[in-house]
Every structure is written in structure tokens, then in C-alpha cells.
Amino acid sequence: MRYVVAKDSREAVALLNTGENARLLAGGTDVLVQMKLGNKAPSLLVDIKAIIGFSDISAENGGFRIGAAVSGAEMGEHAGLKAMWPGVVEAVELIGSTQVQGRATMVGNLCNGSPAADAVPAMLAAGAVARIEGPSGTRDMQVADLLEGPGKTKLGKAELISSVYLPARPERSGDAYLRFIPRTEMDIAVASAGVNLVLDENGCVLEATVALGAVAPTAVMVPNAGAALVGSPLEEQALEACAAACEAACNPIDDKRGTVEFRTKIAGVMATRAAKIAYTRAGGQL
């Protein structure tokens, strides 16, 4: 295996395009584990952490652009980002231990393609947009449109994500992410939910986006669950309709960590609890 530090995106893309069995290396908390376990042995590792701009969190058009090499710990330490998108940051901060946080990136979490990746439902709910560099140039794509299946994304072979943009927010908005795991730290989500809300002046929900993790081959948006909350001050009836819509969207696996019934039920519970947190963060009174 060769190890190369890419100086810029163009070099990284060119290295991916050589026909070698190349892999990008960000924090390495998935790549190095997979190499150690003997699957997916690459012949070329392309380290993207030294590319200028990849380690930056920058304010842009009222939102934030987060570079592909920014670690979870760095996102958690950014007061402005945390104030604007607390749900996305709390989702990223749930990834692994303190040690894993020192390395793991949000983009790596997305590109690894796990259906249970914690950052992904929060990014979907937030309407996050990925900036993609490839042989034919730069393009922007909704994170939601990049998901493909376990271990897969819709990125082309020689494409990489340079950053993710979290858009500006109107007044009275808030987001939240919750996952269920059998212990309190260091485990993989059995079911999870990200919720993003905008309220009107009377505390009624104006816009709602709900996304679920670990209950289908990819994280999924649940438009009906969001629609169930719109127009409500989050009263019991609306929450029940939201939970029912979440349950209807579930197509989970059955394993020792959670049965189909359990995962389905819990997905709705996580979504309604996350909705309540997002609601209070948006300034609503429950």
C-alpha cells in the first residue's frame, strides 16, 4: 500500500482516478478499522487532511461551511456553529469516544455509508448540502440525494466531498438529534431521529423536517412525519401522528440489538422526543 498526502482537491481527484484501488483517508476511524479487520484493503490511501480549507469551519451566507477534515471535537468547540445547528453538532458528538472525536469527521461518517451513522439523519433534517469535487469539476448536492445503501453512496469513483454546508436559519428555528442505544456511550444506534423545526410567532410549527436512522438501508427522510407537526403547537395528537408516520417509514433489520418491532416503535419515540427538544430550542413553550 502507498500513502499520499494530497496537496489540493485536484490532486486527490487525480489519484482516485488512476485506476488503482484508492481510498480517501480523513479521520481514519472507519478506514483504519476496516483495514485492520482485513476487509477493503486499498493499494493507495489518499490523506485529505492537509488540503487547504478542508480543516475550516467558516461562516457563509448566514450559514456554516464545514470542511471535510474537521473533527467532531472541533465542531463541538465551535460556539457559533453549536448555537445555530445544535442538533447536527450533538449528532456528530455522539460518534464514539473522546479519542474517536479527536479524529472522526462528519463527512467521513456520511461517506462510510452506515445506515446507523449518527450524523446523517441530523444532516438530512438540516437540509445539508455537500460540495463535491470530481474529474469534471465542482457541484453541490443535497446530502439526502447522496445516500445509496449500506456501505455505499452515490459519489462517483473519482469524486470526493470537500465540505458540507449547513444553511442559514430563520428566526425561531431549532434542531435536535436523539438515538437509542442499549448503553449510554460507545454503541451503534438501534434507531435514531433528527428533527428540524421553524415556528411562527404563536409557537405553531411552520416547517418541520424529520429523518430517521438505523431503520432502513439508508437514513431516510419522512415527509409525512414532518407534515404531521406543521400547524401544531406540538400537542399530543400531532406528536402521535408524527410517530405513526415514522413507524410507517421503517424497514429495519432484525438482529440481537433490536427486533423489527422494537426498532419501529422506538423510531417514532425518538422522533417525538427530538421534536420536543427542537421545539424548545426554537423558543417554543411546551
Partner 1 sequence: MSKIHITTQVNGDAVEFLCEPDETLLDVLRDRLNLTGAKEGCGTGDCGACSVTLNGRLVASCLVLGAEVAGSEIETVEGVGTADALHPVQQHLLDHAALQCGICTPGIIVAAKALLLQNPNPSEEEVRYWLAGNLCRCTGYDKIIRAVLSAAAEMRGENA
Chosen residue from 14, 73, 188, 204 binding partner 1 by CB under 8 A? 73
* Cell representation of residue 278: 427542537
Q: Name the residue nearer to ligand FAD (CB basis): 27 or 174.
A: 27
Q: Which of 36, 48, 33 is nearest to 3 (CA)?
A: 48
Q: Which of 155, 99, 102, 153 is nearest to 131 (CA)?
A: 155
Distance from C-alpha of 246 to C-alpha of 264, rounded to nearest angstrom: 8
Find the distance separating the first CA and the last CA of the chain, reported in whole Å. Answer: 56
Partner in contact with 102, chosen from ligand FAD, partner 1, none, beta carbon below 5 to 8 Å by kind:
partner 1
Does residue 99 interact with partner 1 by CB under 8 A? yes
User: Which span sits near ligand FAD by CB under 6 A: 17-25, 136-144, 203-211, 253-261?
Assistant: 17-25
**Shortest spacing between CB 151 and partner 1, in angstroms:** 17
Does residue 87 interact with partner 1 by CB under 8 A? no
| DSSP for residue 4 | E
Contact indicator for 197, 172 with CB cutoff of 8 Å? no
Partner in contact with 185, chosen from partner 1, ligand FAD, none, beta carbon below 5 to 8 Å by kind:
partner 1
Contact indicator for 232, 226 with CB cutoff of 8 Å? no
Does residue 35 interact with partner 1 by CB under 8 A? yes
CA distances from 85 to 64, 166, 188, 196, 261 (A): 9, 8, 22, 9, 31
Distance from C-alpha of 146 to C-alpha of 134, rounded to nearest angstrom: 14
* Contact map string, positions 150 to 179, toward ligand FAD, x by CB under 6 A: -----x----xx------------------
* Contact map string, positions 164 to 203, toward partner 1, x by CB under 8 A: --------------------xxx-----------------
DSSP codes of every residue in 229-275: HTTSSS-HHHHHHHHHHHHHH-----BTTB-HHHHHHHHHHHHHHHH
Partner in contact with 94, chosen from partner 1, ligand FAD, none, beta carbon below 5 to 8 Å by kind:
ligand FAD
Which stretch of DSSP H or E encloses residue 124?
A: helix 119-126
Does residue 52 interact with partner 1 by CB under 8 A? no
What region, left, alpha or beta, does residue 280 occupy, with left being phi > 0 and alpha being psi -120 to 50 degrees?
Answer: alpha
Does residue 59 interact with partner 1 by CB under 8 A? no
Q: Name the residue nearer to partner 1 (CB basis): 72 or 194.
A: 72
**Shortest spacing between CB 99 and partner 1, in angstroms:** 4
* Binding footprint of partner 1 on the chain (CB under 8 A): 1-3, 25, 27-29, 32-33, 35-37, 45, 47, 49, 71, 73, 96-100, 102-103, 184-186
Residues in touch with ligand FAD (CB under 6 A): 23-31, 33, 48, 68, 94-96, 100, 103-105, 107-109, 111-112, 117-118, 155, 160-161, 186
